[in-house]
Amino acid sequence: MLANTHPDGNPLKALPTAPLKVKVVVATRETQDRFFTNTATGRSLALQNIPGVEVVLVPENREGLSAVYNRAIEASRGDPALLIFMHDDIHLCDFYWADQAAAALARFHIAGIAGNKRRVPHQPSWAFLDTKFTWDNFDNLSGIVGEGNGFPPKGLSIFGPPGQEVKLLDGLMLIAHSDTLIAHDLRFDERFDFNFYDLDFCRQAEMKNLKMGTWPLSVVHESTGNFLSQSWREGYRKYIAKWGA
């Protein structure tokens, strides 16, 4: 089911030579049983139940996502896998999402649903230019995300054509081979819990010359984010303190 091909122009280090299992890494505040009945991601995974897909679930979670994701990376050190880091409020509307994830990694080292082809100083999100939440020019954005509580979605956020190389990805879904992350010593910074972990991760990947891009994988996302909450403001402060801009 899964392809393993070198991305054009930037071959992976320690690229696996055999098809990999898929590990979907999800943290939720729900119990394990209620995750599969009460969350969008859980219901999608229970319905499809694709062979070769393992759900790495952290139920009743109170940890930051970075810590959860890092444990999954380390657990894959002797058990290589295509890792999909996913929020628990995502409706998977593509029956071939596992194959699409593999196809994305035939072109990019790290892939996602939506992102920005550029990065600017003091950027508070992949899509916005400043803390007034000024949208970047749509010529710089890439990807499509459904918004709402199911399918059909209430609307589509059409940012731009997918399949584009980007510098920043939205953290609702991040896709990478475990061996790529381990070979390049790339981890999530655990000072970022539920905010800015994705921007920080992408900036680390950029410094390591890893190729990132968006992919046409159909999802509906229930959340619109928690911009300007106290935790978001603290995350932004730590993000700017780390990177300087």
- The rounded mean pLDDT for the chain is 91
Q: What is the pTM of this model?
A: 0.90
* Per-residue pLDDT tens digits for 31-83: 999 999 999 999 999 998 888 899 999 999 999 999 999 999 999 998 999 99
Q: 227 pLDDT band (50/70/90 cuts)?
A: confident
pLDDT reported for residue 134: 96
How far is the C-alpha of 53 from the C-alpha of 6, rounded, in Å? 22
Q: 224 pLDDT band (50/70/90 cuts)?
A: confident
Q: 8 pLDDT band (50/70/90 cuts)?
A: very low
How far is the C-alpha of 84 from the C-alpha of 191, rounded, in Å? 21
pLDDT reported for residue 141: 98
How far is the C-alpha of 83 from the C-alpha of 50, rounded, in Å? 15
> Residue 26: beta bridge partners?
57
Q: 210 pLDDT band (50/70/90 cuts)?
A: very high
pLDDT reported for residue 6: 44
Contacts of 180 (CB under 8 A, 6+ apart): 12, 13, 14, 15, 109, 110, 186, 210
pLDDT reported for residue 135: 96
Place of tokens 């897909």: 53
How far is the C-alpha of 114 from the C-alpha of 143, rounded, in Å? 4
Phi, psi of 166 (to 5 degrees): -135, 170
Do 161 and 234 touch, CB atoms closer than 8 A?
A: no
Q: Which fold has domain 21-243?
A: Spore Coat Polysaccharide Biosynthesis Protein SpsA; Chain A (3.90.550)
Angle at 219 between CA 213 and CA 222, to 5 degrees: 115
Angle at 123 between CA 224 and CA 196, to 5 degrees: 55
Contacts of 2 (CB under 8 A, 6+ apart): 19, 20, 22, 52, 82, 98, 99, 102
